[in-house]
Amino acid sequence: MNPEIASGDVSGENEDGENGDGRRNIRSTIAFPYSGLADAEQIADALHHRGDSATVDEIAAKLGQTTSSGSFRTKMATARIFGAIDVRRGQATLTPLGRRLVDSDKQRQARVDAFLHVPLYKQIYDAFKGHQLPGNAGIENRMVQLGVSPKQTERARQALQKSADRAGFFESGRDRLVKPALSGSTGENEDVDDRNPAPSSSASSLPEWAEKMWLALLSDDAAEWSPEQLKAYVDGARAAFKAQG
């Protein structure tokens, strides 16, 4: 896995690992950020002011932070999971979606697209589309079914709610996720990346959640997973499949 992803993503520890005090660690198997969309926009804005590409050190300096800061690392991971930046070997680049996030004329639609870019948020949105959300405990229980570690559900839920609010999904009330009615944009279709081509017709017949998990398994990052990480991811996929049934 890329070391710049430090929060909420498929972890480097497996379900049978220990956290140092003899207790078993269960790591999340679905990507989500530990902080809200506002932090992703802050990173995107800082990167934009550096010419859309800069080293991680330069971004930290722009924000008056250090690369070893937990807060900074979380923000960088958050920006990447929202699809605002790409990080390769210490060099960060603003993605097409990130450029729209810093463009005042395109920002509202970009926020919607960024929210739905997060695998966990997209599955929660799809699960309760057109229906009332359960209470906080119900949302967290659903997150566990989708692959979030039980120890991380509260933070994951809080970040989701902050991000949904910023992206306009709570404009009709905080008891349901409703995509804002926006016009003049084709959404995430503008952000197609040549490194992740559209799936074949046979792959497209899969449910969307399964398609995303399959594509993640075929990504460059997945090639670096250990056998234990791969097992944890597959186990998470099985749990998601059972939850759909």
Tell me the per-residue pLDDT of 92-143, one tens digit each, with 9 for 90 and over: 999 999 999 999 999 999 999 999 999 999 999 999 998 999 999 999 999 9
pLDDT at residue number 142: 97
Torsion over CA: 71, 73, 74, 80 (sign): positive
Say what the alpha-carbon torsion angle 169, 175, 123, 128 is, to the nearest 10 degrees: -120
The residue among 146, 208, 209, 216 whose CA lies nearest residue 1 is 216
Tens-digit pLDDT profile for the chain (245 aa)? 333 333 444 433 333 344 444 445 678 999 999 999 999 999 999 999 999 999 999 999 999 999 999 999 999 999 999 999 999 988 999 999 999 999 999 999 999 999 999 999 999 999 999 899 999 999 999 999 999 999 999 999 999 999 999 999 999 899 999 999 876 544 544 444 444 444 443 444 566 666 666 666 666 566 666 666 667 777 777 776 666 65
Task: Give the model confidence (pLDDT) of 65-75 as tens digits.
Answer: 999 999 999 99
Angstrom distance (rounded) from CA 77 to CA 84 = 10
Tell me, yes or no, if the pTM score tops 0.85.
Answer: no
> In angstroms, rounded to a whole number, what is the distance separating the alpha carbons of residues 2 and 86?
11
Instruction: Tell me the DSSP string of 154-215.
Output: HHHHHHHHHHHHHHTTTTT-TTS-------S--GGGGG--TTSPPPPHHHHTS-HHHHHHHH
CA distance 227 to 11: 13
The predicted structure's pLDDT at residue 182: 77
Give domain limits for the chain.
17-183+202-244
For residues 52 and 94, the answer to whether their CB atoms sit within 8 Å is: yes
- Distance separating alpha carbons of residues 121 and 81, to the nearest angstrom: 11
